[in-house]
Amino acid sequence: MVTLTINGKLVRAREGEMLLDAIRREGIEIPATCQHEAVEPYGACRLCTVEITKADWGGWKNHVTSCLYPVQEGLIVSTHSEDVIRIRKTILDLFLARCPNAELIQNMAAEYGITRTSYEEVPDGNDCILCGLCTRVCDKMGFQAISTVGRGHGKEVAPPLGEAPPDCVGCLACAQICPTNYIKFTDDGTTRTIWGREFELVKCETTGQPTITKEFAAYLVKHRNIPEDYFTRCDSAHREELAKTMGRITHWGRQEEA
């Protein structure tokens, strides 16, 4: 265990834990859009920036992103210093110029007193905040069906070559993790469409309830040692389980590889 100070209060945290987790445990709210427990920290939005110093740093301070900064003994953290608030406000202001209609950003900005961007709105802005959660979760599932393409201001999330992604199995992990609901899909109980592809759903042999897509089922049977008939049985609890954390499935895979 290590001991550190957060906003003046002595706090204990587990070695190797990230600052953001320790901060949240204290009930302190700071915005963080690219962080999610299902995937590794990424450090893209910079909203979770906090100020750190140590008693022996001679007054020197640093700004770090708490989502991927490991806790350290004797660290003194301020989550809402003047500089940090200025950074956060500026980032939210910049975000609003690109994604003026994204509710998540609107709400976060409102908390910091911003309702309209003070910058020039980006002409072809949309709701994608480029948090990279979708591509990271897709990678983690083992599909790597979508990725970020391009660089600079024109970077976007897309399937390879902008075509229907051949490696996508229609699991919806990306759409479910997307914090701004930018990734659109349809599902009528028989077919599901996402990223311009159509998937047929497996149905429960007894109730006729849809479970998951055929491609996803085939993948899990092949790569994760799941019994072939597993998805032809409908069980609301087990379905809920599946939908809730896709990360678990990866976890099974890990054990299998180990």
Partner 1 sequence: MCITSSRQLKQVRKEFLDGDARFEKKVMICCGTGCLANGAQEIVDEFDSILRKKRIKGFTIEAVRSTGCHGFCEQGPLVIIEPRGTFYTKVKVKDVADIIEKSIRSDEVIDKHLYTDPATKQKIERYPDVAFFSHQQRIALRNLGKIAPHNIKDYIANGGYQSLAKVLTTMTPDDVITEVSKSGLRGRGGGGFSAGRKWRSCADVESDTHYVICNGDEGDPGAFMDRSIMEGDPHSVLEGLAIAAYAVGAKEGFVYVRDEYPLAVVHMQKAIEDCRKEGLLGENIFETNFCFDVHIARGAGAFVCGESSALMKSVAGEVGEPRAKYVRSVVKGLHDQPTVLNNVETFANIPIIFEKGADWYAGIGTKKSTGTKVFSLVGKVRNTGLIEVPMGITLRQIIFDIGGGIIDDRPFKAVQTGGPSGGCLPESKLDLPVDFDSLTENGSMMGSGGMIVMDDRTCMVDVAKYFTDFLVKESCGKCVPCREGLYQLHKLLVKISEGRGEESDIDRMEQLSEVIVNASLCGLGQSGPNPLLSTLKYFRDEYTAHIRDKRCPAGVCRELITYNITDECTGCMACISACAYHAITGQKKKVHVIDQEKCTKCGACVAACRFNTIDVR
Question: What residues numbered 47-86 form the site for ligand FES, per CB under 6 A?
Answer: 47-48, 65, 67
**The amino acid at 225:** N
Quick check: 31 binds ligand SF4 (CB under 6 A)?
no
Question: What residues numbered 16-45 form the site for ligand FES, per CB under 6 A?
Answer: 32-35, 43-45
Residue 157 interacts with which of partner 1, ligand FES, ligand SF4, none, CB < 5 to 8 Å by class:
ligand SF4
Question: What residues numbered 115-134 form the site for ligand SF4, per CB under 6 A?
Answer: 128-134
Quick check: 122 binds partner 1 (CB under 8 A)?
yes
Binding segment for ligand SF4 among 79-87, 116-124, 176-184, 189-197 (CB under 6 A)? 176-184
Distance (Å, whole) CA 106 – CA 104: 6
Residue of the chain from 109, 183, 202, 246 that contacts ligand SF4 (CB under 6 A): 183
Quick check: 178 binds ligand SF4 (CB under 6 A)?
yes
Quick check: 105 binds ligand FES (CB under 6 A)?
no
Residues in touch with ligand FES (CB under 6 A): 32-35, 43-48, 65, 67
Sites of contact with ligand SF4 (CB under 6 A): 128-134, 157, 177-180, 182-183
